[in-house]
Structure formats: C-alpha cells, structure tokens
Structure 1
C-alpha cells in the first residue's frame, strides 16, 4: 500500500514510499544473481557508496555482486547505483518514469525505482548528489531481505525522498571516558561510520586529544591525535561532514599568555586534520568562562580555524551558564558578531530549546546536541525508572529507548537545523539510528525503523521479533520493577532468538548487547524480589519486639540480614551475564567491568561491577541494629526498634510519600505529560543520588531542574486541625538553597540544603489548610546554572498535630 506525505518549509522533498511490511505472499524481486552497474563517471565518494552496498550484501548473504560500468543485457537482474542523470542515462528506456527527477527532491535526496523488465528486473538507486547516492544505497540495504544465498526486495518498493533536517550526526569520542570507543581501530571506525550513514547520518563530531578526560587508555590502538586525523580522513572519503567538539578549558582566558598558548595548541590540532567543516565550543561542561571573556577568545579561535580550514564554521553553546551569564551571552549575540556561525543547544542550557530560539537573533541557526547516551543525571533521564535499575545498571548502560527518543525528537528538534547527538559509547546505538532516521523523516514509524535496524545489522529472519525485543527493553524500564510484565516477556523473546540464531548472529555485538540487557533486567528483578523478602522477614521479627523482647528481636533480625549478605543471590542468569560481558569485550572492546576489562570507572557503563549492590535497606538497617546491640538497656532498645518499624508512619490523620518510589507518591503533582516535557523543566521525574548508609528512600527523589516547583497536593484535610510537614532533602546536588511554600504562605524561607540529609520539621500555616486542601511547593534559588539539579525531595510527611 502506497503512502505519501509532503513537507513544508524545512522539508526539502517529497517522500513517496510504496511497500512496507513484507507478508509471506508478497511478490519480491530476486536479486541473488544481480549485477551492479556503477556509472563510469562516478566520483570517489559514489564508488565508496557502491562498495558499501556490495560489501554489506555479501556479509549478510554470502553473495558478492559483480560491479560493471555498462548495462549487462544478459544479467538476470540489475542494480544500478549512482548520480541521478548517470543512472537515468544507463537505464535508458528501461527507466520509464524514472527519467524525470521529482522537483521536490532536494540535496542529499535519492530515488529508488524498480522495473519488472520482462523477467529481468532492475532496481535503480539514484542520488541527487554524491551523498544522495550514499544514502540511497543505505536505504536499499535497510529494505533488502537477505539470508544465506538469498537477496530479495519487495516488488512494490518505491521511494523518492530527501531529508527534512540538513544536519543529522553523532559525536564519536575516542577517549577513555567512553565504554567502548577507546578500543576501536580505524577499520572498526570505518564500519561504524558506514553503519550510521545507512540510516542517513551525514556528520560526525570528533574530539581533540585534550578534553576533560585522561590522556591515556590501555585500550588505545593509536594515539588520540593520530586516530583523530585518520577519522577525519575516513569521513572525508565518504563525503561526510567533520565537526570538532573543542572545549575551552583554561581557567582564565583574560590572561594574554593563556590565550596565546591555547591558540597555539588549537592550531596544532586543527591544522593536522584533513577535513573540518565546523568547530563547536561548549560554554561549559567542561570549561567555565564568562561570555564577556569567552566570546572575544572565540573570535581569535575563528581566525586560527580559518588558517587551515577557510570555510569551516565556529559554533558555541551557553552550556552551564547561570541566568546572569545567559543574559550576557544573549546580549553579545544581539550585536551579531560576524565570526560566529551558529548556536548549539545541549545539556545544561538554562533556556529551553524554544526559548533559546526566541532569544537568539534569526541570523544564527541553532543545532541540537541531545544527550542520548545517559539514563539518569542527564538532559533527558529515563522516565519512571526504578531505583533497582538506577543502582545496578547505572548512568551509561545499554539503553535502547526508541519511542522515548522519538518523543524527545518531536519536542526538541523544531526550530533547529538538525542535531549532532552527544554519545559516550555504542551503548546508545539504537538511539543513534532512531535520531538519524527521524532527522531524515520525522514522520517515520519507529517500529519500522527498528525492523530496518534489525534487517541491516542483525538477521532478516529475526527482524520483526528483534525489533519487538528492542521495544520490550524500553518497556522493561517503565514503572515499578516488581510488577513489570515486560521483563519476563522480553527475556523469553531474546532467549528464543538466541536459540535460533546462527554463529554469526550470536557473535554480532548488537545482538549481544540486546541479549545482555534482557538478562540483566531479569536478574535485577529476581534479586530484588529475594532481597525485599529478606527485608520483610527482618521487619516482621522486629515488629514482634514486645513479645520477643527488643534484644532478641534485634538479634534475630540482624541474623536474617547477615545471612543475606553472607549468601548473596546468584540466580541462573548471572553466569550468562558474565559470559555475555566477555563476548562484548572480545567483539567490540566493550568494558563492562573495571577489574576485568579496564573500564575507566564503574559509573562509565561498567555495570557488571554493580550487579550485586544491595536492593533493600540492609545496610542502613544493620547499622541501626548495630547501634541498638551496643545499648544494654532493654527499654531504650525497644524505643529504638519502634522508631525503626514506625519510621514512615504519619500517624492518625497524616500522610506519607516516598517521592522517589513510583508506588508511594500519591500526592505528587505532575502537571505536564512526558512528551511535552522530556527534560523535566516543568514536571517532576524520579531522580537518584546514593550514599553509603542512606535508607533506600533517601536514594530516590522527585526532582525538577532549574526554577519550576516540585509540588505535592492533599485533599480531605481537617480545616480545624493544625498540621506540620516533615521532609527529607536528598539527591545528588547540595550546593543550593530551597524554599517551601504552602498555598503561597512561607513554610520556610531559603534554607541551605543539608549536606547530611535528615528529616526536618516545620509548621504549616493554618491559613493554608483552612479550606481542607493543601499544596506544598518547593523551589530552589532561581537563576541556577550548571545541570540545574538540586530541587530534589525524597520523603514528605504531612503530620496532624497530636500524632506521632
């Protein structure tokens, strides 16, 4: 069935697609014995596109298509690949309607046309320009159905298309901080760059040798500068844009000697690169220079850049700026400095994308720099994440989030020229392909993108189920882990795929990643259930302190928890996880452990090392029990036990919320849906921050970034009663002050967030509860820069006076 849609001002072309899902009875074109025709006039980049097509078909089918330069009339099938006019000329009368280029196809566009040919079919892949040839070859690879000795294309498939957004790329940082990239050699990088181009990526952002990272990795196959030069050349060979993310990290650019030394270093790096199309300097993260100093320095940088790359553009972001610096930055932009090419919106920018577009002069385009690689403490955290996943899988785990990325894209991309995503490794590989495909066609179906991903990279026979498995991995992370039915369903699906897969598929790193995640999710869920049951047993004993005696209850409860620590849960999935981690290290150098694989740190994707962190209150509870053991006074022990078992009890007429527990936050106000606020500037998300000795409830919180309030709302209060609020301020950021209001009445004024969290109590103004309802609102001091975090509320009790 054919579908058509036309695009508006930014849309450079008509998209016409005939085909879609292939049913068993659908007609196909047999291309197993096809001959590829490459025009004699093909450029070097176009020849590389043809080679990419032929190589990938051979890898997937075992069939190597011969390549010729004239039309072979005796071939069973022909695949012609090249520039539009050249392919039309080669095809001659066989091209039929293909001869006329649709006017709506713009730069980088392509057309794929099939001709039955009286039993000798032809597939014509023609690009408007050299990049169009590359992207047309990539799209054909996404649509081909292949297996050993079999190559087929749905007979109804036709497409004429060009991208909506002119920039579609990804940052590929060769540095120790990543969880895999630092182990890749140039052939691996070429393979990955080709893979990204298959989904329409037209740019890659490189990093210089000096960043906010270690200078050395034990995995480096080449020194960083040599690798950077090699990657720049590779990208140039394929005709793709080269961006450079270059942070300004000197502590003081007001010193002339510092400026000169820095400019010399930048010149040494940039002048060695075969190709540079743009340099992006983040205003912060890393670096922390006020705009009035930074911008004059960047004007000097532009001069240095243009010595070796006269047409290269210089871009800057206001990352990390507080309100004062943001205002200063915008004021400088309004003077419209000629050396500046554009502005980047990325993590840690105070203004939303839409607000930045309004503030920045129209002459400056805006590029999106979305963080697609992190799960928490980031620009777009995983919504409704369970603490068990946060503690075990961490910030940089394997994280396909296809539908969430599509929602982020829809929210974030308008008003920009496109995006170059922020990545710390190949853990976000699925997300990269989703962004590339949506950057080309924002209306593309996400499930179909995933099927294309599976066809291009995994196994055509498993494409539908593998795509469903990726969606399942995303569903695994939504909502409380204990009640999530997706976890078993997804594990069973990937187990079936494992059992059916051949050796090549099982050795495929993308397949290994998905299987690892499916096993990991299930293992964490199983272990959490066991540890929660152990904790329940301990609390059941403690609640019997009156009959058992406080001392005996403490001893018995501690023995239960001690046994849990001495005999940790193993489960049948653990050995498989360790084997998969080894497979991933061998296949792509993925570092899932610090001691085993020399990962730079546990927080950098090494979640094999956090696979057994406690998932209950065992550490906190045993510390409390140890204190009670040291006290021989039975009555005081009883008071201590009672305080433990009744810690969260709000008493008669009171309410308790654990704002980081999705099952225990009934009063939390969420005014905006996820799709309208995926960076959580206006509505709260579960945030995390863990320290040794904290109870679980303090390790999770409700948070909003920057200036909007976190709110809880109560109805059904006694208008005549007096209330007080007890609250714990936790999280991962303690360098700010909070204010609490009750229906506009001040409960406490600006209060420095305690570095060592503890419950704080405040009286609620009677006026606020006089109507039987109450809204509590927490704000942090306005104008904050950096990551904007700090308004993080862990626990809230609303206590009616006279209760405990």
Structure 2
C-alpha cells in the first residue's frame, strides 16, 4: 500500500517490489493506495513509503510507539522494517526516511522473504532500523569493449540494463556512472532518476584532438590526449568541457581522470600535478556554472610523488577551488607495485607502515588534504589479474628509482593465478574473491566518503554485490555476506552449497606452489557443490537464474581444464618414458623415428 502523497520514486519502488515478488509466477501481489479496500482473508500487507507521505504508516508509528525516523536513527537514506502480526494476516511497515530509503527498504524486504511454490514466507518477528555507512555507494556498470568485441557477447537490452540498475539499488547503491553525452530523455537516465539514484560522470581530463604540437606525451604512448601546458590545447580542452556540461542533464558527481590513460610527461608539464590541479580547478568552475550542486573529483592515477605533493600544496593554499574530493583509482597508490603502478614510490612511508599495504598511503592522502576536500575511491574489482588488486603474473620490476616493495610486503605480489587456468581465461573472467576483497575493502575504503567501483560485465557479480553491502555496513563478517548473497540469489535450499562453492573458487584460482591444478580437489568439490545446488533449487528459481548458470559454466570449464591438463601430463610422461627407453636401448635411428612418430600421433589425438 502506497501513501496518498507518494512521490514518483515511492510509486516506482512499489512497482519494483511487486515486479520482483511476482516474476516467478508463484506469488500474486498488487499495489493499492491508501483508502482502497483491502482483500478478504489472510494476507501479507506492506505499508510502503515515507511516513510524511503515508497516513497509515504515521498512524502505525503512533499506535505502536515507534520513534520517528531521523538523520541519526536510522540515518540518512535509511529505513525501518517492522513486522506487525494482525488478526487478518501480517502487516509490514516499510518506512523510508527519504525516497532512496524506501527503495532500500524494498531491497531488504525482498532479501527477507522466501518465495515457495504457490506463496511467500515472511518472518513474523522482524524489526530492522538501518542506514548506510558511506555517502558514495556506486558502480560504473556496463559491458566492456573486450566482452563485446572479443568475447562476442550480445549487447544488453534496455530491460536488462534497467534490471542491472535495480539490482544495484536493491543492494544499497545510490550512484550509477553514466556517459557525459547522455540526455534527460535517455531511458537509462530516466530509470536511474526514477529510483531516486544519483549519477556520476568520469571525464578524461586531457582527452582531445588537435595538431601535432598540441599532443600530450602519454605515459605508455597512447594517442588522443592534449598537453595542457600548450595554451591553445588547454583552451580547446576547456571549450570541450563547456560544450559537454552546458547541454548535459544534472550530474551529482563529476570525476576527472588524471591518467590510465591520459596525463602528460613532457618537460613543459613537470611537475604534472601542478599543471593538472589548476586545470581541474578551471573545469570545476565550468561544471558548477551548469551544475552548481555537483561534487567535482579527480584521480591521480599514475602520477609521481612530486605530482601529489604539488596537488596537496595547491589545495591547502586555496580553499575555494570548487573541488570536493580526491579520488583514488588504479595507479594512485604511491606504495603499490600492482600492475599499472607508478614510476616512483613513497619509500619513506614504509619506515613505519602502520596497517601496511593499501592502507598507509590512503591515510597519508587524508592527512595531506585540506578539510574541505574528501577522499573517494574508484576501486577496480572486475579483473582477476593484471589489475589494481588482482593477481600479478610475475614479480614486479623495480621502479625508476630501483626500488622494490619491502620483504614484509611480498605476500601481495606472491598472489598469482593458477598457471593453467590463466592460459584459459582473459582478464575478464567469472570469479569471486570473498576473503581477499573483504580485506582490501577494510584496508582502503575506511578512509574515504565511499566508492564508485569499476565493472565490465556480469563476471564480477559477487564482488560488486559484496562491495555494495559493505558500503552499507562495513563491519560485517565475510561468511555472513556470502550467506546473504547465496540466499538472495539462489534461495535457502541451495544457499549452503553455493556459499561453500564460492569460498572454494577463491581457493583454487590462486597458484599453489605445492600442488598443480590436477591435485586440486577443490575444483571437483566446487563443481559438485554447484551442481547439487542446482538440483535442490526450486525449478521456478533455477530455470530463470542466469547467475546460477554462470557459476555452473565456470565449474564445467574449470573441471574440464583440470581433466585436460591431467591427460596432457599423462601423455607427456608416457612419451618421455618411451623415448627415454629407446635412447637407453641404443635403437637405430629408424626405430627412434618410429617412436617419435608414434608420440606425435598421440599428441595429435589430444582433444585440445
């Protein structure tokens, strides 16, 4: 039941709730407004909305002596869920402190309900008053060009895009990345705003075109970037920024990327941080001309130590730059040698590293920033290797100063992918890292206002979902998050098997120096658990679960790879034995050629 004065977002939240509740054809539900007659008999009634917009919710608060929702209890964007048993059924109060709080109440209620054949079960004892811990909770969702052009996946339909957005919102996200050229009429933009969500734009700070003398010296030779120390090129960059934001719809956050790709390493730009931060200040003035409430951010990706020092110095000296946040992304950490790392490192901070890798430089950034500039994150949790927090495939080379990470820091760089599986999969592959990413989150995001993660498809589904749940409540145990994920997406019957499978996947994906892939029983156990989960899932859930099929496909490919490696090793051993015996027997060249020909035929008979 929606309130008499329900907003568009409240009405859309109610429609989303009914859509998700009834999509398996096991439950019948309808939206009713206040004053409309209720159905006869026993039923589940949900009073959904903001108390100020909903007389029935306000009356229930008064009757049950429920304290009002405030910015302290539950907090901004928060909600209350309370089950109230009554003679004619069960009433759920789903009250949000604001529009987004109503959406998040729907998400939590859907997680608490269990759909069964012909109905739905709801806890009769439930009272949850909660709000998110972080202000920025977002993701850059979508499909990468690698997925589209190399893997040849089909583009998502508009309905699938909207479902992805809704999934993020129901998990607790409040911000979605959109391109700067999007319009107010675009159905994706309308859908995001229809759920009361915020938008963020990632804008390359020096991308542009012009004559050769304008071109930037990009760190790895990429083209399509201009040198901001060339006055004509800088003016062109500002004109392009003006053109983009003068005709764009409202954006809540605008993040200007400093590198990866982009930036300039020419002599005129040294130190680039000093040139860059002044350009961002001018960009902020342009953005605020058309979007006065937008928070302007920037990333320091692949900058040098001197660049960061210049940025800190300038921001401390000028309290009116219009810049709201310093954003950390891949290549931002001055103490990391992860792939795509910086050319110089803050070795002085290793003297007393405190909590250590990933954490120490975040603390240093906060210490150096003025109070009016916050710290935000653009964490990359979509690539399993060669990425910000992913596996590396070789021990890192020294930086330009000849420095390596200190010995106590080596465990990060000893995390390498299984050498057989890494030959099968690209950087984009289906994977889940509950334990490691839970640790990374705690080491980094604690220092900032939140995170807008990078995502390139559906292969990182668990990682992205866990991140949003941690942005809501960061102290949760990893086992609790995995259990909630599995109940939400696979149902209570399959959840225990899928939870065990997810932890096993994280285990066997990593290189183990003591056992090769053929000795990893966790591959077989993962396969067995996912298949067993599929057998116990109700058919109305399993048959429409693309996510379970992705886990199952991963299980089948990895088990097949293990069997193929075992077959190849067995043939290799037999060939080595046959050739060795022939050589030991000092056979003729013709007989040796025969042994070799037989070996080659056996190799040709492999399925690979």
Quick check: TM above 0.5? yes
Query: Which of 64, 83, 96 in structure 2 is aligned with 1:96?
Result: 64
More strand by proportion, 1 or 2?
Answer: 1
Is it true that 1:300 corresponds to 2:282 in the alignment?
Answer: yes
> Which residue matches 1:531?
568
Change (3 A) 1:558 1:158: farther
How far 1:231 sits from its partner (Å)? 2.6
Query: Which of 134, 158, 164 in structure 2 is aligned with 1:165?
Result: 134
Rounded to whole Å, the distance in 2 between the matches of 1:91 and 1:363 is 38
> Which residue matches 2:461?
429
**Is the 8 Å Cα contact of residues 24 and 540 (structure 2) preserved in structure 1?**
no
Is it true that 1:487 corresponds to 2:523 in the alignment?
Answer: yes
Is it true that 1:366 corresponds to 2:372 in the alignment?
Answer: no
How far 1:107 sits from its partner (Å)? 0.4
Query: Which of 168, 171, 186 in structure 2 is aligned with 1:199?
Result: 171
How far 1:329 sits from its partner (Å)? 3.0
Rounded to whole Å, the distance in 1 between the matches of 2:389 and 2:45 is 46
**Is the 8 Å Cα contact of residues 50 and 81 (structure 1) preserved in structure 2?**
yes
Query: Which of 86, 93, 111 in structure 2 is aligned with 1:142?
Result: 111
Rounded to whole Å, the distance in 2 between the matches of 1:90 and 1:320 is 52
> Could you tell me the TM-score, scaled by structure 1's length?
0.60
Q: Deviations 1:331-371 (Å, cap 9, x if unpaired)?
A: 33332452211101111113232333233333311112211
Rounded to whole Å, the distance in 2 between the matches of 1:261 and 1:285 is 21
- Does the residue aligned with 2:162 lie in a helix, a strand or coil? helix
**Is the 8 Å Cα contact of residues 228 and 273 (structure 1) preserved in structure 2?**
no
Q: 4+ residue stretches of structure 1 with deviation over 6 A?
A: none
Rounded to whole Å, the distance in 1 between the matches of 2:425 and 2:247 is 39
* Structure whose alpha-carbon radius of gyration is higher: 1
How far 1:270 sits from its partner (Å)? 3.2
> Which residue matches 1:586?
none
Rounded to whole Å, the distance in 2 between the matches of 1:442 and 1:564 is 55
Rounded to whole Å, the distance in 2 between the matches of 1:259 and 1:61 is 58
1:75-86 equivalence runs, <5 A: 76=42, 77-86=44-53
Is it true that 1:153 corresponds to 2:122 in the alignment?
Answer: yes
Rounded to whole Å, the distance in 2 between the matches of 1:489 and 1:457 is 20
How far 1:450 sits from its partner (Å)? 3.5
Query: Which of 242, 260, 265 in structure 1 is aligned with 2:240?
Result: 265
1:67-466 equivalence runs, <5 A: 67-70=31-34, 76=42, 77-87=44-54, 89-90=56-57, 92-93=59-60, 96-101=64-69, 103-173=72-142, 176-178=145-147, 183-208=155-180, 225=182, 229-248=186-205, 249=207, 250-289=225-264, 290-336=272-318, 338-351=321-334, 352-382=361-391, 383-466=415-498
More helix by proportion, 1 or 2?
Answer: 2
How far 1:430 sits from its partner (Å)? 1.1
Q: Deviations 1:689-719 (Å, cap 9, x if unpaired)?
A: xxxxxxxxxxxxxxxxxxxxxxxxxxxxxxx
**Is the 8 Å Cα contact of residues 288 and 294 (structure 2) preserved in structure 1?**
yes
**Is the 8 Å Cα contact of residues 538 and 561 (structure 1) preserved in structure 2?**
yes
1:566-605 equivalence runs, <5 A: 566-569=604-607
- Does the residue aligned with 1:314 lie in a helix, a strand or coil? strand
> Could you tell me the TM-score, scaled by structure 2's length?
0.78
**Is the 8 Å Cα contact of residues 172 and 207 (structure 1) preserved in structure 2?**
no
Change (3 A) 1:448 1:52: farther
Rounded to whole Å, the distance in 1 between the matches of 2:571 and 2:247 is 61
Q: Deviations 1:49-95 (Å, cap 9, x if unpaired)?
A: 11111110011354342222226566533111111344574363585
Change (3 A) 1:101 1:228: closer
How far 1:43 sits from its partner (Å)? 1.0
> Which shifted more, 386-395 or 292-301?
292-301
Q: Deviations 1:202-253 (Å, cap 9, x if unpaired)?
A: 11122447xxxxxxxxxxxxxxx56994433322221111001111322312
> Which residue matches 1:29?
none
**Is the 8 Å Cα contact of residues 172 and 181 (structure 1) preserved in structure 2?**
no
Rounded to whole Å, the distance in 2 between the matches of 1:67 and 1:45 is 14
> Which residue matches 1:513?
550
RMSD: 2.9
Rounded to whole Å, the distance in 2 between the matches of 1:292 and 1:557 is 69
- Does the residue aligned with 2:165 lie in a helix, a strand or coil? helix
1:662-677 equivalence runs, <5 A: none
> Which residue matches 1:50?
14
1:535-684 equivalence runs, <5 A: 535-541=572-578, 547-549=584-586, 555=593, 559=597, 562-563=600-601, 565-569=603-607
> Which residue matches 2:30?
66
Q: How many residues align?
A: 519
**Is the 8 Å Cα contact of residues 283 and 316 (structure 1) preserved in structure 2?**
yes
1:729-748 equivalence runs, <5 A: none
Q: Deviations 1:555-610 (Å, cap 9, x if unpaired)?
A: 578546634542233xxxxxxxxxxxxxxxxxxxxxxxxxxxxxxxxxxxxxxxxx
Rounded to whole Å, the distance in 2 between the matches of 1:504 and 1:242 is 32
- Structure 1 portions without partners, runs of 5+: 1-36, 210-224, 570-611, 613-804
- Structure 2 portions without partners, runs of 5+: 208-224, 265-271, 335-360, 392-414
- Does the residue aligned with 1:334 lie in a helix, a strand or coil? helix
Rounded to whole Å, the distance in 1 between the matches of 2:596 and 2:141 is 49
**Is the 8 Å Cα contact of residues 378 and 453 (structure 2) preserved in structure 1?**
yes
**Is the 8 Å Cα contact of residues 418 and 508 (structure 2) preserved in structure 1?**
no
**Is the 8 Å Cα contact of residues 174 and 182 (structure 1) preserved in structure 2?**
no
- Does the residue aligned with 2:463 lie in a helix, a strand or coil? helix
How far 1:97 sits from its partner (Å)? 3.6
- Does the residue aligned with 1:113 lie in a helix, a strand or coil? strand
**Is the 8 Å Cα contact of residues 144 and 457 (structure 2) preserved in structure 1?**
no
**Is the 8 Å Cα contact of residues 232 and 275 (structure 1) preserved in structure 2?**
no
